Amino acid sequence: MDTTQIESIGSVSPERISFDKKNPRGEGEEQIKQDKSFKELKKSVRKYGVLVPLVTQRTKSKHKPFKLIDGERRLRAALIENKELVPIHTIGDDESEARILAYNIHMLRKQWSKINELTSIKEIRDELMAKNPDMDDMELFAKLREITTHTGQELRDLLRLLKYSKETIKKLQDGVLAMSHLIQIDASFLSPFRREFPRLYERYGDGNLRKNLVQKAEDGLLGNTRYLMDYVLKYFKDSEDGRYIFSENKNKLRNIIRKFLDDPKQPASFITEKMQKTKKERKKKAKKTKKSKRKKTTVSTEAGAFEYKSLKITKKQLSRIRDIRPKLERIASSFSDEESEYIKEGIYCLEKHCFKAATLMIWSAGISRILRYIGHNISDFNKCSKVMFDKPKSVYRYLSKNFQRNATDIDDIRENCNDIQKICYIFYKKFIDVTQFKKLKNNYDTRNDCAHPTSICLTPNEIIVIFENVYNLLFDNSNLR
């Protein structure tokens, strides 16, 4: 927005300014008043007044001719402290311009949450559409890109998130759900599902479908955050040119999806396993038909039960894989015997491109490092686990329900405490931050996929990231040495 549209008009009575009910920060009055920083702000306003001008918009009201755009805490502090005047800047009465200005002001602040940014973008979008009802989707998208300065992909992802309920976005903010999970639910499942089976999609309803899939994501039934994109999406476009589904597969895919959606405990791997079976049957049938046409008999060979198919790995990926061994060898003296054995086997599997086995080994080595730390003070582990269970924070609210809280020794913890509790423990101790916690949580989910009968197929980049995360966040963590 052009800054020449903002007018500085000096000071007015705070009583002449109304609060914006659509404030993108979404804080309630009581929430603000209970905040410690607000109490400090009141002291400052009491002594010095409001120093930073409020940003407002003109209204047609005689009693409150200004509506607040930015500065809710300062305005509330001024009202509580009975200040006669507050400095303000103002713009005209165009609602969409006000929303754009509010968005840009808040985007400069690091503490602005993703849920508040989404709320603000939704308000801007709705105001633009109300102001320009003839604007098509491409024009609207271009305008939003100009306003938000996001890349096209970033904005597309944010607009996908807007399709979910506020409750779901709150879980995203709390770390219960991963943003990429929600994006892929929409992009790699719901969108192609709606395109290929519109009547079935309508029968379930968009809201119910999202609620169903979000719950599956929470329950760990959708695999890692790329599973839908890498393994499910292809069955919506399994023709050679990727534009349509083979007609003989379409009915089977429809029935498989119905079973997947109707059973809350059915994982996404159910779709891939059933469709793989369908493809094998089709190939077998085609092969049989081809043989019958040739009218030739073949003699079966005593081939091995399994055929190894080498993976395609780029030179860059191969170089990164080779870099892992010297990196770990540099800190080999810090490894316990148990860690060392896991790491040796993990590196061997990695270099042989046995990625599932490598994942299990390096993860076990990392957990062994956490267990070594816990073993020094088991009573502290029990104490912290009890606090997490009694007063769960958002990031592990849904994880702490089954935390072990009365461990007697380290073997008791090995046998009866799951790995996610150990990760939560080092997060609670502030050895890792919330972003690092989420990285390890994703690696833990992948580890579980590798340890159980699933159709997961790791890429070289995915396994490299897991090794690097375990190295950087656990082995090279000064608190765990």
Residue ranges of domains in the chain: 3-93, 168-290, 315-480
Q: What is the mean pLDDT of residues 344-360?
A: 92
* Rounded distance between C-alpha atoms, residue 372 and residue 375, angstroms: 5
- Give the pLDDT mean for 166-172: 83
Q: Is the pLDDT of residue 150 over 80?
A: no
**In sequence order, which residues have a C-beta less than 8 Å from that of residue 416 and are 6 or more positions away?**
404, 407
Q: Taking all residues of the chain, what is their mean pLDDT, rounded to a whole number?
A: 82
Nearest residue to 457 (alpha-carbon basis) of 161, 180, 164, 226: 226
d(CA 399, CA 317): 34
> Which is more confidently placed, 5 or 470?
470
Q: How far apart are CA 146 and CA 2, in angstroms?
A: 13
Residues 6+ apart with CB under 8 A from 220: 445, 448
pLDDT at 84 over 70: yes
Please tell me the predicted confidence (pLDDT) of residue 101. Answer: 67
Tell me what pLDDT residue 240 has.
45
Compute the distance between CA of residue 249 and CA of residue 234 in angstroms, rounded to an integer: 12
| Number of Cβ within a 10 Å radius of residue 306 | 6
User: Please, which residues have CB within 8 angstroms of residue 365's CB and are 6 or more apart in sequence?
Assistant: 335, 339, 342, 343, 346, 470, 475
Mean pLDDT of 158-179: 84
Above 70 in pLDDT, residue 2? no
Average confidence (pLDDT) over 258-283: 87
What pLDDT, in 10s, does the model give residues 89-143? 887 767 666 666 666 665 555 455 666 677 777 877 888 888 888 877 778 888 8
Percent share of the chain, pLDDT over 70: 84
In this structure, are residues 249 and 202 in contact, taking their beta carbons and an 8 Å threshold? no
pLDDT one-digit tens code per residue, 254-266: 899 999 999 999 9
Q: What is the pLDDT of residue 241?
A: 44
Mean pLDDT, range 328-339, rounded to an integer: 88
* φ, ψ (nearest 5 deg) of residue 362: -70, -35
Contacts of 423 (CB under 8 A, 6+ apart): 370, 437, 440, 441, 444
- pLDDT in the model for residue 308: 55
Q: With 90 as the cut, is the pLDDT of residue 209 above it?
A: yes
The rounded distance, in Å, linking the Cα atoms of 477 and 469 is 11
Of the two residues 282 and 226, the one the predictor is more confident about is 226
Which residue(s) pair with 310 in the sheet? none
3-state secondary structure of 134: coil
Give 396's pLDDT tier (boundaries 50, 70, 90): confident
Find out if CATH 3.90.1530.30 is the number for domain 3-93.
yes
Residue 210 · residue 190 · CB < 8 Å: yes
